[in-house]
Amino acid sequence: MRIAVLDDYHRIAHTLADWGSLGVEVDFFDRPIARERLPEVLSGYDTLVLMRERTAFPQEVLEQLPDLQVVVTTGMRNASLDVGYLKQREVRVLGTGIPGYGPVSEAPQPGVPSTIELAWALIFALVKRVPQEDRAMRRGVWQEGMPTNLRGATLGLAGLGRLGAQMVAPAQAFGMEVIAWSQNLTPERADECGVRHVSREQLLAESDVLSIHLVLSDRTRGLFGAAELEQMRPSAFLINTSRGPIVVEHALVAALQERRIAGAGLDVYDVEPLPAEHALLNLDNVVLTPHLGYVSREGLAEMYEQVVEDLAAYLRGDPIRVIA
């Protein structure tokens, strides 16, 4: 077995799990690899370890990796990996649990996932103008703009699953009303979480902060486009820590440029890493983070430890956490 661990951006994967216990060659790649170079760089590797959806592996790339036998992805879903094609090729695909949760269970374990913490960090940065005031002070300007308060404002949640539901308690602690909508949300689930169930039109029209907590799928891709952004308040903020393509990116850029919404806090994008010339980088009413929602030392350690467990079980001939 020859293992390639991809997208180890923080250069710490080798310290977070006992890779040596596998007794095989393990190489760590700490920078993104351009799609056209993947076949060349990964030639000869029979095992890939993927960090969620950082590097895409569609069929046209996988076809150029004839030695591939095993793929391990952190998490049990990876929208950037053509699992169906790998299944046809009889390449084993394994996964891991999500930090803070059991490997399969929907019930949250003690502790708040870092995705929720990041969503609130983006909200605070926007409503309190943290990036703008920081930049202004460095230019010698004292109090350039006017922050807004969360108390009395409405938090709208697109999605009330295990992550969306954990947005509720902090919002209520800050004195916010919480409303929620998704295609599958029932009034009973909303009542259980202590929020008001609304239509999508109400969600867009009433939210002062709209935070997205949905899984990317055929139903949610492009769910928030130009027409939906037009229904939001000019004073509203949009937060996306889920997946970039849930929001139509060019429509969001236009809405921000034309100040049809007040701002956005984004952790996810159509293309990651975000291209250096991207229009979002030139906007002063957006706060950007580089897909940090699930990133913490503790979380990465939990995922990589499970990767090593997966590979050890595979080598024993008894694979666990099998996706395909």
3-state secondary structure the chain: CEEEECCCCCCCHHHCCCHHHHCCEEEECCCCCCHHHHHHHCCCCCEEEECCCCCCECHHHHCCCCCCCEEEECCCCCCCECHHHHHHCCCEEECCCCCCECCCCCCECCCCCHHHHHHHHHHHHHHCCHHHHHHHHHCCCCCCCCCCCCCCCEEEEECCCCCHHHHHHHHHHCCCEEEEECCCCCHHHHHHHCCEECCHHHHHHHCCEEEECCCCCCCCCCCECHHHHHCCCCCCEEEECCCHHHECHHHHHHHHHCCCCCEEEECCCCCCCCCCCCHHHHCCCEEECCCCCCCCHHHHHHHHHHHHHHHHHHHCCCCCCECC
**CATH superfamily of domain region 114-288:** NAD(P)-binding Rossmann-like Domain (3.40.50.720)
pLDDT tens string 225-262? 999 999 999 999 999 999 999 999 999 999 999 999 99
Closest C-alpha among 268, 266, 261, 246 to residue 158: 246
Question: What angle is formed at CA 144 by the lines to CA 139 and CA 145, rounded to 5 degrees?
Answer: 150
Question: What is the structure's pLDDT at 113?
Answer: 61
Question: Does the pLDDT value for residue 106 go beyond 50?
Answer: no
- Supply the CATH classification number for the domain 2-104+297-315: 3.40.50.720
Which is more confident, 52 or 199? Answer: 199
Question: Does the pLDDT value for residue 26 go beyond 70?
Answer: yes
Question: Does the pLDDT value for residue 276 go beyond 80?
Answer: yes
Question: What is the structure's pLDDT at 110?
Answer: 43
Question: What is the structure's pLDDT at 104?
Answer: 36
Report the pLDDT averaged over residues 158-167: 95
pLDDT tens string 57-102? 999 999 999 999 999 999 898 989 999 999 999 999 999 986 655 4
- The pTM for the full model equals 0.89
pLDDT tens string 201-230? 999 999 999 999 999 999 999 999 999 999
Sign of CA dihedral 301, 302, 304, 305: positive
Lowest mean per-residue pLDDT among 7-21, 82-96, 112-126? 112-126
Q: Give CA–CA dist 190/175, Å, rounded.
A: 18
* Mean pLDDT, rounded, of the chain: 94
Question: What is the structure's pLDDT at 102?
Answer: 46
Question: Does the pLDDT value for residue 150 go beyond 90?
Answer: yes
Q: For residue 214, give the amino acid letter.
A: L
* 113, 170 contact by CB (below 8 A): no
Catalytic residue ranges: 243, 272, 291
Question: What is the structure's pLDDT at 261?
Answer: 98
Question: What is the structure's pLDDT at 97?
Answer: 84
Report the pLDDT averaged over residues 6-35: 96
Question: Does the pLDDT value for residue 177 go beyond 70?
Answer: yes
Q: Where in the chain is the domain with CATH 3.40.50.720?
A: 2-104+297-315, 114-288
